[in-house]
Amino acid sequence: MAKRSFPLAKAYTLLEPGPVVLLTTASGGQTDVMVQSWHLMLEFEPPLVGCVVSPRNHSYGLLKASRECVINIPSVEIAEQVVACGNSSGRNVDKFERFGLTPVPAKVVGAPLIKECFASLECRVVDTGMVAKYGLFVLEVVKAWMDPAHKEARTLHHRGRGRFMVAGETIQLKSKMK
């Protein structure tokens, strides 16, 4: 079968960057939870993450002001809460309260961890050079947390228009190249 032309506006559905995360921010007595799927690892050590946050999001102002956040990684078990957070704005609602998420104080940054997520990465902004043009913050992970009961968590991956792929099977392949 020959390949067919694919709409450019849907190209993102073919090349998603990783699991959907819940980005928590805090500043000036306000907290927010933002559903985020446009992120990428930039470096191993120190661990650096590129994270796109639009100025249209309530979290944008909180992240710019505090220069800290937590990347919380949910599993499929809380998928409905994740989608509900993504379909509301922190300007109008306390997402922790409304969607039954439990804020847990972080050890290094001011933004909270989310108890219901199997992993959390406390981060500090280390580069804002591409924020004005692309909304791309470079974050350094300064503390990482993982629930040992979820070593093989099934994560959500956004495919666009309310569709998600669930990942969770790990395979190991041995390289035959020398």
Average pLDDT over residues 12-32: 89
pTM given for the model: 0.92
pLDDT at 178: 61
CATH for 17-167 is 2.30.110.10
Indicate if the alpha-carbon torsion angle 112, 118, 123, 129 is positive or negative. Answer: negative
Q: What is the pLDDT of residues 112-140, one digit of tens each?
A: 999 999 999 999 999 999 999 999 999 99
First to last CA, the chain: 34
Residue with tokens 């199997």: 118
3-state secondary structure 65-110: HHCEEEEEECCHHHHHHHHHHHCCCCCCCCHHHHCCCCEECCCCCC
Q: What is the pLDDT of residues 40-68, one digit of tens each?
A: 999 999 999 999 999 999 999 999 999 99
- Residue-averaged pLDDT of the chain: 92
**170 vs 17, 118, 153, CA distance in Å?**
18, 17, 10
